[in-house]
Amino acid sequence: MSEAALYVVATPIGNLQDMTLRAVEVLQSVSLIAAEDTRHSARLLSHFNINTRQLSVHEHNERQRSEMIVQQLAAGNSVALISDAGTPLISDPGYILVGIVREAGYRVVPLPGCAAFVTALSAAGLASDRFSFEGFPPAKKGARLEQYRSLADESRTLIFYESPHRVLDSLRDMAQAFGGDRKVAVARELTKTFETIRSGSLDELLVWMEADHNQQKGEFVLLVEAAPRRKEESLGAEQLRILSLLTEELPVSQAAALAAKITGIKKKVLYQAALEINKG
């Protein structure tokens, strides 16, 4: 490694055989490994005979540790960043460190590898061309339900992480916010011995999970099907007459806004119709 850099290294989310050859080489070659939990990472490093010194970097000390790592880079020493599992920064610490290193003018080199939400999406059978990764939902029921309700009309597949002691309550809140017939996929313990990927409606999966306590254990990725598309509102003769009269006296935007108040039709629909009327 001729130039000092921060290497962001993805590690396995369960199965150690998912470690890449490049990741092993980099972790053996750098001067320091910044790890979320050095005790947790010790097993991984020992398995691959990696003896590089570790430094703990977690959410409570990240800014302070970032300054130490920049000092290492300034001295010409490369550093690797790893999390407990998967790709660093994905619902894990690291973005503060990466930002500080980049601002200091040093290279940040990503090493691709495992990410639990991508792994789950690839096998869930839900639309994968457009999706929104939401990370962990709020721990408290009220805030969690509010977030789900705000996403009820989302046109992309939604992806969440969830913990074992909240997963059942989380699915119940989803059923309340999205409707029990919304299709979901539950991915549990990915790449591990008890890996489970099951899909169905929220109502169906709640019955399944409530009946089998073992399915409530482990690390979860929850994927929710995009909301069904709503039919566009159409304008009747009376709505068009009102809109036409208003566009004779007002700018298009104001006419659409006033027509929306009078008719109850969405302003966006009326605005487009007003533009067509003006063209005519």
Predicted confidence (pLDDT) at residue 232 exceeds the cutoff of 60: no
pTM of the model: 0.80
Q: 252-263 and 237-249 are packed helices; what angle lies between their axes, rounded to 10 degrees? A: 140
Q: What is the pLDDT of residue 204?
A: 97
Q: Which CATH number fits domain 117-224: 3.30.465.10, 3.90.1170.50, 3.30.950.10, 3.90.1150.10?
A: 3.30.950.10
Q: What is the pLDDT of residue 134?
A: 98
Predicted confidence (pLDDT) at residue 233 exceeds the cutoff of 70: no
pLDDT classification of 267: cutoffs 50, 70, 90: confident
Specify the 3-state DSSP secondary structure of 280.
coil
- Cα separation of 36 and 38, whole Å? 6
Predicted confidence (pLDDT) at residue 230 exceeds the cutoff of 70: no
Q: What does the block give as tokens for 62?
A: 């990240």
Q: What is the pLDDT of residue 67?
A: 96
Q: What is the maximal distance between C-alpha atoms in the chain?
A: 79
- Cα separation of 25 and 32, whole Å? 13
**Tens digit of each residue's pLDDT (9 = 90 or more) over 125-182:** 999 999 999 999 999 999 999 999 999 999 999 999 999 999 999 999 999 999 999 9
pLDDT classification of 100: cutoffs 50, 70, 90: very high
Domain 5-114 has CATH 3.40.190.10: no
Q: What does the block give as tokens for 39?
A: 């005790």
Residue 137 CA, distance from chain mean position? 10
Helices (H) and strands (E) in the chain, counts: 11, 10
Average of per-residue pLDDT values in the chain: 94
Predicted confidence (pLDDT) at residue 278 exceeds the cutoff of 70: yes
**Among candidates 134, 168, 180, which has minimal Cα distance to 154?**
134
- CA torsion, ordered 199, 227, 128, 11, to nearest 10 deg: -70
**Tens digit of each residue's pLDDT (9 = 90 or more) over 45-68:** 999 999 999 999 999 999 999 999
More confident residue, 31 or 253: 31
Residue 205 CA, distance from chain mean position? 21
Q: Where are the domains of the chain?
A: 5-114, 117-224, 237-279
- CB-CB neighbours of 11 under 10 Å: 25
Predicted confidence (pLDDT) at residue 1 exceeds the cutoff of 80: no
Q: What is the pLDDT of residue 276?
A: 83
- CB-CB neighbours of 226 under 10 Å: 18
- Answer for the pair 110, 8: CB distance below 8 angstroms, yes or no: yes
